[in-house]
Structure 1
Amino acid sequence: MSGRETTLPPIGLGTMGLDSESGVESVRTALDVGYRHLDTAQIYDNEDVVGKGLAESDVPREDVVVATKVWADKLGYDDVLSSTTGSLQRLGVDYADLLYVHRPIDAYDPERTLAAFDELRDAGRIRHVGVSNFTLSELDEALDLLDTPLFAHQTELHPLFYSPKLVSHAQENDYYLVAYSPLAAGKVFEVSELSEVAEKHNTDEAAVSIAWLAGKENVVTIPKASGEEHMRANLAAVDLDLDDEDVAKIKSIEREEELFPE
């Protein structure tokens, strides 16, 4: 990922489900222990929570990548502009580092939607454009239509649902693949292959899954965590050194489960 004015750390904080004052504390704690990438969305209904946690932290705003997503019913040209204004107000920031098309459905119109994202970047209201839950053909279309380089594609990715073609596409076109639900909603703890690798390294299945993803070129991940212990464990997982045998064992997993199909 050379030549980027913004870089994504290997581990960011997924915030879906974080709300109320406990969510504010979780965001603040995450920043205190070293997280520098906060991921939210309009549909999560917690941009204000994320913004408050950021504001209450001692970490400077400019050191944190703040990402949010425009929901499917707000993807008309004018709605992208107005809803982003609302997002920035709720987050309490002058700009978002990364703004995603959350899903290419409902009001999504490739030419008009992406033109609005380009306008937001030109105006300095966002720094980078991302997309989420796109197919390969939708990614190619976005790359063709956007004036600004595509910065990130966020998609479900974990040992039980893995797309080599999406990873290769990100690597070939030099954008980040941001893997959400890296622990498959806890299902990774039920996979014998992951348990074997975890036992070998004296760790757990969560660390193995995170290390496996973060070890791939152009791939970062955003596990959700609300407590400090899990946050620190997720950050530490990137130091786990998986060998070829470990990777082959993970690749051999035959069970497949997609958590968030369209």
Structure 2
Amino acid sequence: MDTPVHGPSTPLSGGDIPLLGFGTWQSEGDDAYTSVLHALRTGYRHIDTATGYGNETQVGRAIADSGVPRGEIFVTTKLPPDNAGDERRTLEQSLTDLGLDHVDLWLVHWPPNGEARPETWSEFLSLRDEGLARSVGVSNYSVAQIDELVAATGETPAVNQIPWSPKDYDATVAQELGARGVVLEGYSPFKRTDLDDPVLAEVAAAHEVDPTHVVLRWHVDHGFVVIPKSVTPSRIESNFRALDLTLTADEIARIDRLGTQPETEGGVGE
């Protein structure tokens, strides 16, 4: 059964993924716990973490304490590249730390040693088939590396999580992933964008919102998943209000033109 979501979503094989999620990179200790708890109480239903973030225990405690039914929360975690070859133990430890019997999405965090590693992908598929993850995907992979996984296994990653923002926008990358049925999920949407850019400022002023709202809504209107991170309650709430914004087709096109156009099929970041 598909996971109920708040706000726009897009389908994956294992259930719908909310387009606006909540990131936890660099959130540690009590900050991770309190921010995830506040995000869930604000209305977010998609929480993104990773083994490498060192906060899965705090994220899991917040999920348990939120009062939100598990079936309404989409949870993502990730395999560190150095753990390739130790997939089962890593995922089982993540589930223990999160206090869950499955995650909704499990990603290879980076190509191990810069390589696609079809054998790791095969393990992901096996663990998905056992029910430990509802969907599986990759992060920071190139389109060519995704094609290598598909050629070896016949199965396409559900998601590729990459650095993404109006500044990073590359229609070719978006189209290549879309053509393969891979959902584009972006991280670091604000860090990688000039929030003082005149185009963003003008669109924001026209709607009486912050440029951050414009950036998030631009992702959602394109069908890109976006996972802004904050530990500040007011900012967590403000980011969620981006779902109330409506951009025109002309505004979206103007924001698209902020993007650089080199073949950036992967990237650096988390």
Is 1:115 the counterpart of 2:122? The answer is: yes
Structure 2, unmatched stretches of 5+, are 1-9
DSSP-derived class of the 1:190 partner: coil
The whole-number CA distance in structure 2 between the counterparts of 1:196 and 1:69 is: 37
Residues 146 and 12 of structure 1: CA distance in aligned 2, closer, same or farther (over 3 Å): farther
Counterpart of 1:153 (choices 160, 164, 175) is 160
The whole-number CA distance in structure 2 between the counterparts of 1:46 and 1:156 is: 21
Counterpart of 1:9 (choices 18, 30, 39) is 18
Q: Is the 8 A contact 1:211 1:240 kept in 2?
A: yes
Counterpart of 1:137 (choices 137, 144, 148) is 144
Map 1:1-262 → 2, pairs under 5 A: 1=10, 4-76=13-85, 79-106=86-113, 110-146=117-153, 148-184=155-191, 187-217=193-223, 219-253=224-258, 260=268
The whole-number CA distance in structure 2 between the counterparts of 1:127 and 1:215 is: 25
Structure 1 residue 151 displacement after superposition:
1.6
CA RMSD of aligned residues (A): 2.4
The whole-number CA distance in structure 1 between the counterparts of 2:141 and 2:168 is: 15
DSSP-derived class of the 1:150 partner: coil
The whole-number CA distance in structure 2 between the counterparts of 1:159 and 1:74 is: 32
DSSP-derived class of the 1:99 partner: strand
The whole-number CA distance in structure 1 between the counterparts of 2:55 and 2:11 is: 32
Structure 1 residue 131 displacement after superposition:
0.4
The whole-number CA distance in structure 1 between the counterparts of 2:259 and 2:75 is: 36
Residues 82 and 4 of structure 1: CA distance in aligned 2, closer, same or farther (over 3 Å): closer
Q: Matched residue pairs, number?
A: 258
Q: Is the 8 A contact 1:75 1:108 kept in 2?
A: no
Structure 1 residue 94 displacement after superposition:
1.0
The whole-number CA distance in structure 1 between the counterparts of 2:18 and 2:259 is: 30
Structure 1 residue 124 displacement after superposition:
1.2
Q: Is the 8 A contact 2:115 2:145 kept in 1?
A: no
Q: Is the 8 A contact 1:18 1:226 kept in 2?
A: yes
Give the structure-2-normalised TM-score.
0.87
Structure 1, unmatched stretches of 5+, are none
Residues 255 and 176 of structure 1: CA distance in aligned 2, closer, same or farther (over 3 Å): closer
Structure 1 residue 119 displacement after superposition:
1.3
Structure 1 residue 155 displacement after superposition:
0.7
Structure 1 residue 97 displacement after superposition:
1.1
